[in-house]
Copies of this chain bind each other. A is one copy, B any other.
Amino acid sequence: MYNSSICSFMFSTNILQPRMVIARLSCTLKTHQNVRIGHCTKVPRNVNMEKLQHGYLFPEFVHGLSTATGYKGYGPEQGEKALRKAISVTFYKDLGIKPSEVFVSDGAQCDITRLQLLMGPNLKIAVQDPSFPAYIDSSVIIGQAGKFVDKAGKYKNIEYMTCGPQSDFFPDLPTISRTELIFFNSPNNPTGHAATRKQLEQLVDFAKVNGSIIIFDSAYSAYITDDSPKSIYEIPGAREVAIEVSSFSKFAGFTGVRLGWTVVPEELLYSNGFPVVHDFNRIMCTCFNGASNIAQAGGLACLSPEGLRAMQTLVDYYMENARILVDALTSLGLTVYGGKNAPYVWVHFPGSKSWNVFAEILEKTHIITVPGSGFGPGGEEYIRISAFGQRDSIIEASKRLKYLIYQEQN
């Protein structure tokens, strides 16, 4: 099976064929001299992926026609070559990410499910608590989770990593049990916290020691204003333990256009030494058929010098919105997080239920917030306020919130 997979791999596409041979040796012989590809995670390859015969028919025979070397054998499922290159140059400059490691998609949420499909049901995930719901829900759908325990507000067999202010929104790693996958979102939706370099170094070490794979969601990285890493690959060793998922939605106002990408480095290996990138490529060819060519053309335009300036202007606009909201809420003595490296403001209402705060704000100010508990039990007592809006709406919302909270306090 393993060998036939190798063959089909080399036939269906020739990416990292030579590296793979080395990778197999380095894992088979358990030599770790080659730092770039010497590390095998302890994540077993999905047995369902091992069963799959050959490459997906169409890219496979098209490759059979290709006399060129390099990545000519790729079908369009992985994205237009020009866009893959532009993403690698724009977002991963000096981080050594090759265009062949970038897979253009119809968005981060869809890629999260495809990554769960890739990994299969027989493993365990860890998530930040609170976190974006798609990580947990897709895990339940694929069959990784146990029953939901109402009292705890958690599923069994999912590791909830509490990320509250008491630990600078980073998990207390020594208390976290080992899982095959670790979903980590930075800047975090909903808390707005961007993990520091030191925190991410700890996370990468933790994954390496445990043989885990980090699925790093950097969809909001463009909003980072301090020196927090914008990509997990800024951390040494991350190429051997991390997949990165990102999106144009929040950078370029592409919400609804559906364009994102996922990076799977060549050095990321299953416990048997088989490169994860090969199976992910197979998933993209079989279960996906490429992002809309129109959306991809738009994405390419965004990465032109003019497009990048426009994106920065958009980001600055929303971050000014965030500043306005934070100022308004802090001026009332509320404890407010986020809004500095993310367009989300995370407001604490000690002793209150998120849904009650949400309902009261909605009823009395007609402002839509998101109840924090919707992001996991760790979000209870909080609400998330989004800075994605027109300036005048933000100013009006700030006024209404000030008035409401002032009334409550007096």
Contacts and interface: CB of A to CB of B under 8 A. Distances in A.
A388 to B, nearest CB: 13
A148 B51 contact: yes
Contacts of A286: 113, 133-134, 137-138, 141
A141 B358 CA distance: 41
A290 interface: yes
A292 B294 contact: yes
Contact of A48 (B120, B140, B294): B140
Contact of A143 (B48, B147, B289, B291): B48
Given A141-B52, A294-B292, A374-B57, A65 B134 contact: no
Interface string A130-144: 000110011011110
Given A51-B155, A65-B368, A109 B142 contact: no
A324 interface: no
Interface in A65-92: 65, 76
A374 B61 contact: yes
A283 B60 CA distance: 30
Interface in A299-338: none
A65 B148 contact: no
Nearest to A146: B51
Main secondary structure of the interface of A (DSSP, over half): helix
Contacts of A51: 140, 145, 147-148, 155
A160 to B, nearest CB: 14
Interface in A93-120: 106-107, 109-110, 113, 117, 120
A49 interface: yes
A147 B50 CA distance: 10
A258 B294 CA distance: 9
A218 to B, nearest CB: 17
B292 A258 contact: yes
A362 interface: yes
A288 interface: yes
B362 A109 contact: no
Nearest to A137: B286
Nearest to A77: B109
Contacts of A47: 143
Interface in A364-378: 368, 370-371, 374-375
Interface string A367-393: 010110011000000000000000000
A125 to B, nearest CB: 14
A6 interface: no
9 contacts: A58-B370, A61-B371, A65-B362, A106-B106, A109-B288, A134-B286, A138-B287, A259-B292, A292-B294
Given A106-B258, A106-B292, A291-B292, 5 more contacts: A48-B143, A56-B133, A57-B370, A137-B286, A258-B291
